[in-house]
Structure 1
Amino acid sequence: MGSASREALARSVQALAGLGSKADLATAEDLFAAGRVVADSAQLRSVLSDPSAPAEGKAALVQRVFGSLSAPAVELLTVVAGQRWSDQDDVLAAIEELGIRSIAASAPRNVDIPGELFAFGGAVTSDAELELALRSKLADPEAKAALAERLLAGKASKQTVAIARQLVLQPRGRSIRESLRDAARIVAAQYGQTIATVVTATPLPAEQAERLRASLAAKYGELKLNEVVDPAILGGLRVQVGDDVIDGSVASRLTELRLQLAG
């Protein structure tokens, strides 16, 4: 996002915080639906992202188009419409993020939404046919959403199902892996956490994973581990927290050795 969009998003998130318990799963569903309507209308996207358009006019447009939605959703959409955005895609991203944050803020704290999203992502990316079915541009979006719901039935909370359904219905050019990772990051941010992605050749024992989490938390603050098993790294581990990467994998060391020998 450009600087204008980052500021606009921060104000929109602040508006969400001001709603408190009024913003819930139903609010998120309304926001997701509104975002899909905006995505399908070039005119709506153009007007809502136009920095020269009067805020009052955009607010009136939101009321006219989305007035049947819940009051919290309409209020948040009005706030979004009143901001200055760098481009149209950022408006769509902001509406989706507000929906995801609404879900995270209203979910019981014993519901591990990031963990469920990571588990779903791992299941999808480990099955090439399944991943293709969910990302295919030729498949009916509702059919893909129904597939995601069936896969998650009995395995994930209604909050995670709602997020996954939105990501499948409106991928916005992202792979399912990217969209799930983005959603988990947003949920963690709503909880004041950071995502640390840890890649290992074999699953980490629970005790070792907890020691690693505590060690990273001492530097980065409260965080959530996203554990990924990738035999290609051979051994060791690779950790990414935001833009920071700690690569202690065997594969990385072998690559460095080969470069040294070649040089």
Structure 2
Amino acid sequence: MGSATTQARTATTAALDASSAVDLGVARDLFAAARALDDSTQLGGALSDASATPASREALVRAVFGAVSSPASLDLLTTIVQQRWSSTSDLIDGIDDLAVRAASLAAGDADVEGELFGFSRTVAENPELELALGSRVGDAAAKSALIEKLLGGRVSEATALIVTSLVRQPRDRRVRSLLSAAMKTVAGQRGRTVATVVTAVPLNEAQSSRLAAALTAKYGTRVSINTVIDASVVGGLRVQIADDVIDASVSSRLADLRQRLAS
């Protein structure tokens, strides 16, 4: 990600946080705009053209999306295209990112992170499902129908919107990567960091709370826990936060012991 894109994302996130009219309709409008730019090379190129004036890019956004977007959505889109982006791809990713953030804000207290994580585990455990959702030749409507069948009534409306929108147009990205990035975006929007904990048996509420408190103290930010049950770790646990891995599993200690005995 180039420095221009980093600055653009900071500015657009600030604009979203300052808006008092963010709802799921705004998130839908932003996802739709990202799809429109991805579908039209000409439109995407024009709106990411650094040689064009911000005013001309804003005028184009209003001409294309003014009749189909809410005032709040249009304000955010104009803010987005007034920024300088390193590439058209970065611009589209930036709109998707803002859409995920908008859905998170509109979701209230819904556990969007946990729901996204749960669906990512379902995908990870079902290769055929991952293939169907990630297929380049798959019909977008069929993918949406499949997700509705899997998630309808089981997750918040915000989570369903995020999953459906990202899977409809993955742009050569793996489904699990999309879900993982969305989880991190939602956590960041809510001032948290996501920790993935791999353990042989489920943690009870007290254990989860103690672990979250310890990780919060270590990293200086609130940490939410996503748990993966894997009998192969034998005992103990393995924690991953971003690029950091804390491996306190029995399987790791046994592997280390075997390596020492073999040397």
TM-score by length of 1: 0.93
Give how far 1:243 is off. Answer: 2.5
Deviates more, 1:31-40 or 1:123-132: 123-132
> What SS does the corresponding residue of 1:245 show, helix, strand or coil?
strand
Per-residue CA deviations over 1:198-252 (Å, capped at 9, x if unaligned) read 1123322232122111111112221211111233434322111223221223343
Give how far 1:260 is off. Answer: 4.2
**Cross-structure match for 1:24:** 23
Two-structure CA RMSD over aligned residues (Å): 1.7
Q: Which runs of 5+ in 1 are unaligned?
A: none
> What SS does the corresponding residue of 1:248 show, helix, strand or coil?
strand
> 1:209–1:48: structure 2 CA closer, same or farther, 3 Å change rule?
same
What is the number of equivalent residue pairs in this alignment? Answer: 261
The 2-side partners of 1:141 and 1:231 are apart by 36
> 1:256–1:45: structure 2 CA closer, same or farther, 3 Å change rule?
farther
**Cross-structure match for 2:229:** 229
> 1:132–1:213: structure 2 CA closer, same or farther, 3 Å change rule?
same
1:41-190 to 2 correspondences below 5 Å: 41-68=40-67, 69-109=69-109, 111-190=110-189
Give how far 1:47 is off. Answer: 1.8
**Cross-structure match for 1:14:** 14
1:188-203 to 2 correspondences below 5 Å: 188-203=187-202
Give how far 1:67 is off. Answer: 1.0
Q: Which runs of 5+ in 2 are unaligned?
A: none
**Cross-structure match for 1:249:** 249
The 1-side partners of 2:176 and 2:192 are apart by 20
Per-residue CA deviations over 1:148-207 (Å, capped at 9, x if unaligned) read 111111210111111111111121322221111111111111111111111123322232
Give how far 1:50 is off. Answer: 2.0
> 1:127–1:162: structure 2 CA closer, same or farther, 3 Å change rule?
same
Per-residue CA deviations over 1:57-83 (Å, capped at 9, x if unaligned) read 111110111111111111111111111
Per-residue CA deviations over 1:92-138 (Å, capped at 9, x if unaligned) read 111011111111112222x1111111111112211222222211222
Amino acid of the residue matched to residue 99 of structure 2? G
> 1:254–1:50: structure 2 CA closer, same or farther, 3 Å change rule?
farther
Amino acid of the residue matched to residue 75 of structure 2? E
> What SS does the corresponding residue of 1:171 show, helix, strand or coil?
coil
Give how far 1:38 is off. Answer: 0.3
Q: List structure 1 runs of 4+ shifted beyond 6 angstroms.
A: none
TM-score by length of 2: 0.93
